[in-house]
Amino acid sequence: MDQKMTTGGEKLIQCLEREGVEYIFGLSGGAALPMFDALADSKIELVLVRHEQGATHMADGYARSTGKPGVVLVTSGPGATNTVTGLLTALMDSAPMIVISGQTISPMLGKDAFQEADVTGITYPVVKHSYLVKEAAEIPRIVREAFHVATTGRPGPVLIDVPKDIGQGPCDAPFTDELDLPGYSIPARGDTDAIAEMARHLSASKKPLLYVGHGAVIAGAGKAITSLAEKLRAPVVNTLLGKGAVDETHPLHLGMLGMHGTAYANKAVADCDLIMAIGARWDDRITGKLEEFCPDAVKLHIDIDPAEFDKIVKPDVSVLGDARLVVEDLIPLVEMADTQTWLAQCERWRKQYPLKYPKKGGLRAQHVLDRLNHISGGDAIITTDVGQHQMWAAQFCLTRNGRQWISSGGAGTMGFGWPAAIGAKFANPDQKVWAVVGDGGFQMTLCELATAQIHKIAAKCLVVNNNYLGMIRQWQELFYENRLSGADLVGNPDFVKLAEAYDVKAFRIKRAGDVDRILQEAHDYEDGPCVVVAEVVKEDNVFPMIPAGAAVKDMIIEPPKEKLEKPTGST
């Protein structure tokens, strides 16, 4: 080969440089060697992880905290299939991501070659789009399209599968900014007639409620939604992933709604006469028993994905478009609604059903997270895993700005929180980043302590350790006559010693009186990653709780005294 000829792998890395990629999170392997070889001469920093799942969650954390796509590079076969969980997580939560996988050489495709997997076929249901590169000349076009698709409209993950012979073969194709995407359109401003109709409904409502989701965070619609809420004098609730779109300390904010949302938010949802979803899908954890979900309310829906309309709830008026642009167009059309009585009722519910937890009987996770919220001042980026700690963190760690709350919502991916925090810290080196994880999920990706330590990434990991798969134990206690099965994590390691084995600074909290001092010390520690292990009460439950498939009237606010029926809904 001509020494001056660029290889396919080099061209691909150069295309990533043109897209402004700073980091690639990846794990090397034979079929991906042409790309890894090209990275040796690139200004892009390779973050070598310990497991491909960790790479995808780091890329996800990077993406959600910046809005820019996170990039992953892995090899073929199991290297590629190990990204499937991360792809699903990113797809369900609309996170932009580019996963580049090596593949066996083109002549061996479909012949069960070593480490061959049909990764484009395997991942079709969990990507926004995927490419199998068949000719090196396609690389510039494919990379340009992949970034465009991943970041526009409803963001999502895109896969690029590169056979090794194409990666190491010649490529003299020029760079291009042209796009060849017939049928792919990006909604922007909404239909003016529909927006005007929405405005009439909002102005006439006596009990309006704004229901804000992750789409509002992605669109940067928070300022506009706050202005709309203030003009209407309408209360706001958010989904788990909608935290931070509107400052949760704002007087009109009622917190998170849904299965483990605040009681006052759910009371408002049940009693409103109008609910407007902004960048939020009508998730089953939000609606519960669908036929009893605010049945008498006018339902309005703003979304950038037309597939969300009529999927769960049929709205009275829907507007396809960017959430920020649509709300900005709405504001001048609405008139101040007569909501004084409604707001007074919401405040009564807020005082009647506050979030609370026992102050005695051992170290409480809620207390630790309440104090973390105080010490971080609501300014830290917080990532979470999935389970009880996630819901407690959502309840007690109030988020003031978008892109500060990063949690696996739709997929509910255990193992997400810690690597997502590493990715977020790479992207935001000057910002405090805390991962809140459970002892179950942490053990799925804790090998990335090594990744954080090598790069001196000063992300902090709070392990809420109750030695259980806590949410499973809670469900079995409440709905399965406390017949515990597959919930006890007997055999857990000493997480402090384990962190120290990675040469990572570690703390342990056993007493409530030590919480503030240790959290503050960890918060101030900037020499690298650190782990705080909170040894919390083993058997504690998350309340409020609306059992899956039930209605707001069935909400459990305190430990029940009677036997409960098994939930009819999913998880």
Q: Which residues are catalytic?
A: 52, 114-115, 164, 471
CA distance 312 to 267: 21
* Cα 105–chain centre separation: 35
137-141 own/partner pairs: CB under 8 Å, 24+ apart: 137/171, 137/172, 137/173, 138/173, 139/8, 139/11, 139/12, 139/15, 139/166, 139/171, 139/173, 140/11, 140/15, 140/173, 140/174, 140/175, 140/176, 141/173, 141/176, 141/178, 141/180
CA distance 347 to 483: 39
CB 550 within 8 A of CB 530: no
CA distance 439 to 452: 18
CA distance 14 to 20: 10
Q: Report the number of secondary-structure helices (H) and strands (E) in the chain.
A: 23, 18
Of 155, 152, 171, 154, nearest to 163 (Cα)?
A: 171
Tokens of 341: 């009585």
Peptide bond before residue 544 is cis, with ω within 30 degrees of 0: yes
Query: At a CB cut-off of 8 Å and minimum separation 6, what does 514 contact?
Result: none
CB 395 within 8 A of CB 368: no
Tokens of 424: 């977020």
CB 44 within 8 A of CB 25: no
Of 248, 249, 252, nearest to 232 (Cα)?
A: 252
Buried residues in 131-160 as b, exposed as e (16+ CB within 10 A): bbbeebbbbbbbbbbbbbbbbbbbbbbbbb
Tokens of 1: 């080969």
The size of the chain, in residues, is 571
CB 140 within 8 A of CB 168: no
Q: Which DSSP string corresponds to 73-116?
A: EE-STHHHHTTHHHHHHHHHTT--EEEEEEE--GGGTTTT-TT-
Instruction: Identify the residue whose tokens are 């001196």.
Output: 456
CB 95 within 8 A of CB 156: yes
Three-class SS state of 280:
coil
Instruction: Identify the residue whose tokens are 């465009």.
Output: 148
Instruction: Identify the residue whose tokens are 């760079």.
Output: 175
Query: At a CB cut-off of 8 Å and minimum separation 6, what does 30 contact?
Result: 75, 76, 102, 115, 164
CA distance 375 to 373: 6
Adjacent-strand bridge partners of 383: 406, 435
